[in-house]
Amino acid sequence: MQNDVVVVGGGPVGMLLASELALAKVRVRVLEQRRTRTEQSRALTVHPRSLEILDQRGIVDRFQRRGVPMPAGHFAWLDTSLDFSRLDTRHPYTLWLAQAQTEALLEERARELGAEIQRGYSVVEVAESEGEVALRVEGPEGQVEERARYVVGCDGARSTVRRSSGIGFPGTETTVTAILGDVELDEPPARPFRHTCSRGSVLAAPLPPGDHEGIYRFVVFDPERAHVPTSEPVTLGELESGVARIVGRGFGMRDPRWLSRFGNATRVAERYRRGRVLLAGDAAHIHFPAGGQGLNVGLQDAMNLGWKLAAEVNGWAPPRLLDSYHDERHPVGLAVGRNTEVQTKLGDVSEAGLALRKMMSDLLAMEPVNRRISELVSALDVAYPPGDTAAAHPWVGRRAPDRALVTDRGAARLYELLPTGRFVLLDLTGAVDLREAGAAWSDRVDVVRATAAPESDLAALDALLVRPDGHVAWASDAARRATCLADLRGALESWCGPA
């Protein structure tokens, strides 16, 4: 069999997943129907949690060099911005970066690690049988058959992998549409702006520097055009006239680079896994593109799935580890769908709708409310349920905080211990000797003796087992010291498989 895993779809989600699999020495092939990478800007924001997972693999600096940090975000285009600068993260901002750049950087990473990427190949059908998956593929040489142990559909909202695998995609149809356009301007605005009134809403901002220098992104919700089907092409005239009617001027639009109409259809796949077929990104969930969450949720899907699928392929996965991908990420997909539906409702520009928007803006001006919604949109609030709720330490399932440590290898941040994609067992006090217990899993777990600053939240812990995706698998403190070693062995068996 040629492939351990075939990833269908070479967008950012597929490329990050391929990187994670290749990092674990899995033979992975990406099949992408486009012959060349897109030059369209598309999604423009990389959120704090996505920056954290890139940091965990030691590649976040590549993205920081290309993008522009933005300390503020938005929720439903309300007048009060989301303040990411106060969030508990080393990346308290969104990175303003065109999707084309994000995809290129992730492809570069995948190729460095040995992933095979083939462009111009369109998957027509997948079918599972007898311990493998067969793919019917249309390529430059005609129709061929590929075989793999597992297939992951990262092939978008109209996913061939999802449809041919019979996985349901329940949800709601489009009820309202909006438009966007990337255009040059003869009369650019003095600064980026959001404007909402009874005539509609407009968001305008220059695209990130680089390949899109001098181009502005406009997003327009025009109530008079809110029921035009997504299949109807957008014209430059429609974009300019909508902006002019809502804002009062058209800014001299010309030379459109990308025009698109999008709707609020919201769907989440019934299962993210069926046998040897899995889904990630837009193949698993779609929603109104509010707050730039779609790309980021997909990247976080890939980070959750990559190490689990690699464990299954490499033969050490404990029972139900691969099923935990659906268990953990499906609720996240549902939650994103709900918050984007809320934002769609807040797009109402009737008199009552504008009053509601004013009330919500006033609430967002309150720091605790702003922090709560900022954590929601940025995905910093995502915590996975512990397997044993009664016995689990309160830290289990949370994202591990990136705190400064003094380790037996020198000074390091916690995330700097994660680039290999292995588990990290932090011995934070030496009160219990964890090395002998961890040694039986030394091919999967790095045991690191470390000390945290007295004021750090890590200082209250004896030990911490961090998953390859940066979430906490197990923790212990002074109150649990008597059972620490037994609990640790149980956690290692549960998460890391047999010793």
When pLDDT is cut at 50, 70 and 90, the band that residue 391 belongs to is confident
Tell whether the model's pLDDT for residue 39 goes beyond 90. Answer: no
Question: Look-up: residue for tokens 């069999």?
Answer: 1
Question: Among residues 97, 113, 124, which one has the least CA distance to residue 41?
Answer: 97
Q: What is the pLDDT of residue 390?
A: 61
- DSSP, collapsed to helix, strand or coil, labels residue 152 as strand
When pLDDT is cut at 50, 70 and 90, the band that residue 369 belongs to is very high
Centroid of chain to Cα 330: 13
Question: Among residues 426, 404, 448, 425, which one has the least CA distance to residue 495?
Answer: 425
Q: What is the pLDDT of residue 1?
A: 53
Question: Among residues 373, 381, 457, 384, which one has the least CA distance to residue 414?
Answer: 457
Q: What is the pLDDT of residue 130?
A: 85
Question: What is the percent of the chain with per-residue pLDDT over 90, rounded to a whole number?
Answer: 91
pTM comes to: 0.96
For residues 419-448, average pLDDT: 94
Report pLDDT digits (tens) over 189-230: 999 999 999 999 999 999 988 767 789 999 999 999 999 999
Tell whether the model's pLDDT for residue 388 goes beyond 70. Answer: no
Please provide the DSSP assignment of 426-441 as one string: EESS-SS--HHHHHTT
Centroid of chain to Cα 164: 25
How far, in Å, CA of 452 to CA of 267, rounded?
A: 43
* Cα Rg of the chain, angstroms: 23
How far, in Å, CA of 447 to CA of 82, rounded?
A: 38
* 211: region left, alpha or beta (phi > 0 left; psi from -120 to 50 alpha): alpha
Tell whether the model's pLDDT for residue 309 goes beyond 60. Answer: yes
For residues 420-425, average pLDDT: 98
For residues 36-45, average pLDDT: 82
